Amino acid sequence: MFLINCPYCGERDQSEFSCGGEAHMVRPKQPTELSDDQWAEYLFMRKNIKGVQFERWNHAHGCRKWFNMVRDTSNDKIHAVYKMGEKPPVE
Amino acid sequence: MTKFRVNKTKHVDQTKTVSFNFDGKSYHGFDGDTLASALLSNGVHLVGRSFKYHRPRGIMSCGSEEPNAICQINENTDLTEPNVRATEIELYEGLKASSQNCWPSVNFDIGGINNFISQFIPAGFYYKTFMWPKSFWKKIYEPLIRWSAGLGKSPTKPDPELYDHKHVHCDVLIIGGGISGIIASKIAAKNNLRTILIEDKNILGGSTIFQKNENYKINNKYSSEWLDDEIAELQKLDNLTIKTRTSLAAYHSYNYLLAKENISDHLPLDKKNGGIRQRLWKIRADKVLVATGAIERPLVFNNNDRPGIMLANSVKKYLDFYGVSCGFNNVIFTNNDSAYETAVSLKEKGISVEIIDIRKKSNSKIVKNAEKLGVKIYWNSTIVNTFGHRKIKSIEIMNLSEDGSNVVGDKNRINCDCLAVSGGWTPMVHMHTQSGGKLDFRENDQTFIPTEIDENHINVGSCNGDFELEEIINNTNKKVKNFLKVSETEFDNTSVLNSKELDKRNIWLLPNYISEGKCKSFIDFQNDSTAKDIKLALREGFKSIEHVKRYTTTGMATDQGKLSNMHALGIIADTAGVKMGTLGTTTFRPPFTPLTFGSIVGRSVGKFFDIIRKTSIHEWHSQNNAKFENVGQWKRPWYYPINDEGLHDAVQRESKAARDSAGILDASTLGKIDIQGTDASEFLNRVYTNAWSKLGIGKCRYGLMLNEDGMVYDDGVTTRLGENHYLMTTTTGGAANVLSKLEDYLQTEWPELDVYLTSVTDHYSTASVCGPNSKKILTKIFPDKDFSDEAFPHMSYQNAKIDEINCRIMRISFTGELSYEINVESKYGKSLWEKCIEVGKEFKITPYGTETMHLLRAEKGFIIVGQDTDGTMTPIDLQMDWIVSKKKYDFIGKRSLYRSDTIREDRKQLVGLLTDDPNEVLEEGAQIVSDVNKKPIEMIGHVTSSYFSPNLNKSIALAVVKSGKKMNGQKLIVPMENKNINVTVSDSVFLDKENKRIYA
Ligand SMILES: [Zn+2]
């Protein structure tokens, strides 16, 4: 059960949050210009890394804000949280 | 006092007699006993039968590792509990316990026959034998196995007791109140840290609390006396919370831990008083110190499972802590020094004891002490057999060969009534590994030791592999100082005297002159798996420890292999010729000891099980005989039977009334989202499939929302209240998900849009009045309002007032009838409803529930998202092409509507179905086929909605069928268990195709 540092509220229990999958998947500005394969790449393909991964999280039972998290999926260490629109920290 | 109670101790009050019942017989023990110590004080060792062979089994240990003494307590009461370990039950007046797994009695049982045919029950027996003939499984094998295995009975009545949850935060949590935990707690609390110490026993002190031996002294005091003083000082510390009878269940990441506190389990039934039985502590700790100690290992030799064969340190605890001697003619079988402490304790009380030691020699102080007391020691020897059916009577020993791989010389028989066994110690690393910690293998004593990885979690004491008193005290002190960043402590200059172990020898499976196939050398006592089983599994090709474990069931009983895992690993390593450290261990999963369901659910039972949402009109529905249906957390009126009307009759009457005159529905549960902002119109354009920019203020529009994959997600009517202000409605069940999906897009994809979303579902109550007389009813409620089609057209909204109450009236229709939805602030919902009923009386206004609503909309072919769709339906599949804007550049899901898969013409598509027999109503979910003769029969679709329509006087259904769009008029078949129903594909709009009724 993680302790997650919401960028707006501070440290809260994981049960207040929900995970929204891989971060920095930018919705194509012109989906209609894409081929089936290109669209499928955006629609279906997610990395699911064992190791450091960038994820979207939502403080669903709190401030309802979405934010990003850098988490190592192999040991659940959270390396960073940052607001939507902010640049991911470089390691 | 019984003859086995040989010693007076301060932990058992021999002036307070406690009577109890075991297997129908009455006994006496004392205040302070456990059920196990009380039974042993009465000379009772035999307490159960083994799982597979039904061999007699006795009490083996004194703690949570106990594999044999598993009881059912307080049978035939509401409070009965199975699978309780006798070693953990504190004795109380009137306790009733019985052995499990021993029908018809512990002394004679039919399953014992398995023992004689045991050579036919090898590892994987159940997998191999009972597989065929297949027909035997259900009727013969399974009942037979279940009946003969019987691991206790669950209570049949509701649990009458209360359970609690408690959330706590602390600086330091210390798990385990033995000597290391006590030292750590004192250091933490004295350094101003909020500290919690939890201990599963009813007192602190671990095994040091009964250690009164010349060879183990701290600051010149017996270690037990030194510890007594420390415990007394602990009680005075303000920062320290001590929780005894509290066992750790789980250690999750980020130092989140669950612990179960037993509050009334040790009290007699009549003193429990309906208070709280157990409390689950949910602890978030800044730092965690694990001091869970170690478990003594048994030794694996032929017939090592007879009653009277126990762990050596447990024999010592029964003697020194409870004052009970487990036998008068004891033999100790060991590979290490610690068992000599047991020998010294026995001998000092004048009780006979001899020692069989597999080592060649040992010159440590404790061994010399035993020799000086006249204890006979058989060095370099092993036990090759044991005798005695219901209790051990004698053993047979032989010498070991030089390398320990074989036995040599003559057999020697020794009589005994108790055999105390010690195979060394296994650190309890369960908590460490549950938290994600890794283990290192230590060769010299073959133990897995925690690898420190986390700055907020350490292990101290014997769970960290420190087994000797001096190491325990000094290393604990050093590690805790470092961990808590403390520069000095009162333990810095503690002088410790202890016997040091110098010689070690370990043999995982002791050799025998009897062939391996004929030996019964048990590893897992509870699941009855033997060394032979493990070797067979290896021969059959199982290599991974996880596979061997499952195939042989070793370590899979209720004790989770606390005594068996290491031996299984050792034997696998020896047999396969690999290093034990390279095998890894099986995974330790929570809970460490079983948890009751009660403690897991806490107060979330009965009406607190889940949140119940009621509309403001709920009370009226109840008073008017409504039957309710759960829709998500909402209670919605399902139908309103009159007298003894059933569902069918009520729905037929309600639907007829709604079409013939007037009906009223509580629509308050529909999700409502208030949307404001200068980009609100643009936002709707992007989330709905149809266009929104040109919707005039005061107008309503139906919208369909897709997922990005093009599949229908939700639907509802949205009203434009102002230039930059909309009110969106969603399905009842989808409200929360729609809001969070919209928030997601707003915050992450389109942060540039000026749009604000607010959930207002609970703010408004809605009465939906429909039917040809609805306009007349509305006119009576709002006499000043012009309800003509010109002044108040279909799909528009207006404000109105009843007295001073503001109302929003939407003229929209989900039934196909002329229909108005009146919205008021929730607090006025019931008054509004009653007003409608009152005014509607002359038109026989009829309240209807969800079932009638479903029927009415089905007559019109309106879909219900989640009933007629299942996350695989596009609007095109639903034949709703009209709602998909061709002009809009983009909306959520647009691109997916022409992926190669979504444009397939043979997708399942929504159609109407009419049964050839108009009285035959199809079952929802029934499969649809076109040809019953071609095998295998191809399923081409299924029925999604089906009703008998009283307005059309025939059965109607909606269904999804492959290529259904092209099938209008085609005959299909719905095969049922006893018959095939002939159906014809039709249009999905059954009633009023011209939409005349909404202008009635
Ligand atoms: Zn937050």
Q: What does the pLDDT look like over B405-445, one tens digit per residue?
A: 999 999 999 999 999 999 999 999 999 999 888 899 999 89
Chain A nearest CA to B423, separation (Å): 34
Residues of A with CB under 8 A from a CB of B: 1-3, 13-14, 20, 27, 30-32, 34, 36, 39-40, 43, 56, 58, 60, 64-66, 75-76, 84-85
**pLDDT at res. A75:** 87
Q: How many Å apart are CA B896 and CA B898, to the nearest integer?
A: 5
**pLDDT at res. B557:** 77
CATH number at residue B214: 3.50.50.60
Q: Residue B337 corresponds to which tokens in the numbers above?
A: 């020094």
Taking the centre of ligand 1 as the mean of its atom positions, its distance from the CA of residue B169, in whole angstroms, is: 20
Q: Which of B546, B565, B590 is the last residue of a domain?
A: B590
**pLDDT at res. B111:** 47
**pLDDT at res. B145:** 57
The one-letter amino acid at B448: F
Tell whether A88 is covered by a domain: no
CA B786-B787-B790 angle, to 5 degrees, is: 90
pLDDT in tens, B477-523: 999 999 999 999 999 999 999 999 989 999 999 999 999 889 999 99
**pLDDT at res. B680:** 97
Tokens 């304790």 belong to residue: B345
Among the listed ranges B52-61, B426-435, B639-648, which one has the minimum average pLDDT value?
A: B52-61
Residues B922 and B983 placed together within one structural domain of the fold? yes
CATH number at residue B814: 3.30.1360.120
Q: Where in the sequence is the domain holding B848, given as residue range(s)? A: 769-782+799-855
Tell whether B635 is covered by a domain: no
CA dihedral A3, A9, A15, A17 (to 10 degrees): -110
Q: Which residues of chain A make contact with B894, given a CB cutoff of 8 A?
A: 31-32
DSSP per residue, B445-484:
TTEEEEEP--TTEEE-GGGGT--SHHHHHHHHHHHHHHHH
Tell whether B438 is covered by a domain: yes
Q: How many Å apart are CA B209 and CA B32, to the nearest integer?
A: 15
pLDDT tops 80 at residue B147: no
Q: Which of B125, B143, B178 is the last residue of a domain?
A: B125
pLDDT in tens, B814-824: 999 999 999 99
CATH number at residue B37: 3.10.20.440
CB pairs under 8 A between A and B: 53
Residues of B with CB under 8 A from a CB of A: 252-256, 284, 436, 708-709, 740, 743-744, 747-749, 751, 889-890, 894-896, 899-900
Tell whether B150 is covered by a domain: no
CB atoms within 10 A of CB B96: 18
Nearest chain A residue to B252 by CA distance is A1
Q: Residue B744 corresponds to which tokens in the numbers above?
A: 């997601």
Instruction: Give the closest of B256, B747, B895 to A84, CB-based.
Output: B747
Residues B583 and B562 placed together within one structural domain of the fold? yes
Q: How many Å apart are CA A82 and CA B610, to the nearest integer?
A: 34
Chain B nearest CA to A6, separation (Å): 15
Nearest chain A residue to B747 by CA distance is A66
Taking the centre of ligand 1 as the mean of its atom positions, its distance from the CA of residue A62, in whole angstroms, is: 5
Instruction: Give the closest of A3, A64, A84 to B284, CB-based.
Output: A3
Give the Å distances, CA to CA, from B257 to A2, B175, B432: 11, 10, 12
Tell whether B347 is covered by a domain: yes
pLDDT in tens, B331-379: 999 999 999 999 999 999 999 999 999 999 999 999 999 999 999 999 9
| Nearest alpha carbon to residue B382 among B406, B365, B351, B362 | B406
A43 with B252: Cβ contact below 8 A: no
Give the DSSP H or E segment for B25: strand B25-31
Give the Å distances, CA to CA, from B126 to B142, B145, B189, B548, B553: 10, 9, 54, 15, 11
| Nearest alpha carbon to residue B967 among B991, B983, B947 | B983
CB atoms within 10 A of CB B678: 11
pLDDT tops 80 at residue B944: yes
Nearest chain B residue to A78 by CA distance is B254
Average pLDDT value for residue range B316-321: 98
**pLDDT at res. B522:** 95
pLDDT in tens, B519-557: 999 999 988 889 999 999 999 888 888 888 888 888 877
Residues B476 and B373 placed together within one structural domain of the fold? no
Residues B289 and B303 placed together within one structural domain of the fold? no
Q: Which residues of chain B make contact with A59, given a CB cutoff of 8 A?
A: none
Give the Å distances, CA to CA, from B750 to A48, B527, B744: 25, 59, 9
CB atoms within 10 A of CB B304: 24
Number of domains in chain B: 7
Q: Which residues of chain A make contact with B751, given a CB cutoff of 8 A?
A: 84-85
Q: Which residues of chain B make contact with A12, given a CB cutoff of 8 A?
A: none
Residues B828 and B894 placed together within one structural domain of the fold? no
Q: Which residues of chain A make contact with B709, given a CB cutoff of 8 A?
A: 43
Q: Is the pLDDT higher at B320 or at B270?
A: B320
**pLDDT at res. B104:** 47
A76 with B894: Cβ contact below 8 A: no
pLDDT tops 80 at residue B132: no
Mean pLDDT of chain B: 92
Q: Where in the sequence is the domain holding A29, given as residue range(s)? A: 3-83
**pLDDT at res. B152:** 76
Instruction: Give the closest of B284, B748, B900 to A84, CB-based.
Output: B748
Selected residue of B169, B747, B898 to mutate for chain A interface (largest A Cβ count, 10 A): B747
Q: Residue B318 corresponds to which tokens in the numbers above?
A: 């029964």
CB atoms within 10 A of CB B348: 15
Residues B405 and B277 placed together within one structural domain of the fold? no
B350-355 long-range contacts, Cβ below 8 Å, gap at least 24?
Answer: B351/B6, B351/B319, B351/B325, B351/B327, B352/B328, B354/B330, B354/B378, B354/B414, B354/B416, B355/B331
| Nearest alpha carbon to residue A1 among B432, B437, B456, B435 | B435
B894 with A32: Cβ contact below 8 A: yes
Pairing of strands B376-378, B352-357: parallel
pLDDT in tens, B171-192: 999 999 999 999 999 999 999 9
Number of domains in chain A: 1
**pLDDT at res. B124:** 60
Question: Model confidence at B140, in pLDDT bands (50, 70, 90)?
Answer: low
**pLDDT at res. B77:** 84
ipTM: 0.97
Average pLDDT value for residue range A20-48: 94
Tell whether A59 is covered by a domain: yes
Chain B nearest CA to A50, separation (Å): 15
Average pLDDT value for residue range A5-26: 95
A76 with B889: Cβ contact below 8 A: no
Taking the centre of ligand 1 as the mean of its atom positions, its distance from the CA of residue A11, in whole angstroms, is: 9
Question: Model confidence at B275, in pLDDT bands (50, 70, 90)?
Answer: confident
A31 with B709: Cβ contact below 8 A: no
CATH number at residue A38: 3.30.2270.10
Among the listed ranges B96-110, B381-395, B739-753, which one has the minimum average pLDDT value?
A: B96-110
Tokens 């129903």 belong to residue: B981
Chain B nearest CA to A34, separation (Å): 8
Among the listed ranges B60-69, B585-594, B734-743, B927-936, which one has the minimum average pLDDT value?
A: B585-594
Tell whether A90 is covered by a domain: no
pLDDT in tens, B841-858: 999 999 999 999 999 999
